[in-house]
Amino acid sequence: MANSDIEVINAQYEGLKKQINDIAKTMDLRFEQWNEDRKSITDLEVRLKTVEAKLDGARDDITDGNKKVINRLDEHLEPVPQMISDTVKKELGKKGMIDKIKEAVNG
């Protein structure tokens, strides 16, 4: 083999070596970007799960609050019919009230 052939082979070898290094650098950059993308996706998934948990908690709190309000209303409204009935009986027990009702009915 002649000296010029060896120089050509060495030049081709160095050219291939440079191309392989360039490809390796490009792949390293892509893998780094993919890792960052994966981390971003994981972070988003964690945030989404956190928001879902907060929504579930808020929904439960609202449901519990509604139940408490309904129970309190029931407690306060429960004696009202009895109070009305007692008041009507008391008023109807008065002779003057009975006369007033009869007058209103008979007109």
Overall pTM surpassing 0.85 (yes/no): no
Q: What is the CA radius of gyration of the chain?
A: 44
Name the stretches of the chain with pLDDT < 50.
Answer: none
Q: Output the pLDDT for position 98.
A: 65
Rounding to the nearest 10 degrees, give the CA dihedral for residues 61, 64, 65, 70: 160
For the stretch 68-81, pLDDT in tens is: 887 887 777 667 67
Q: Output the pLDDT for position 16.
A: 96
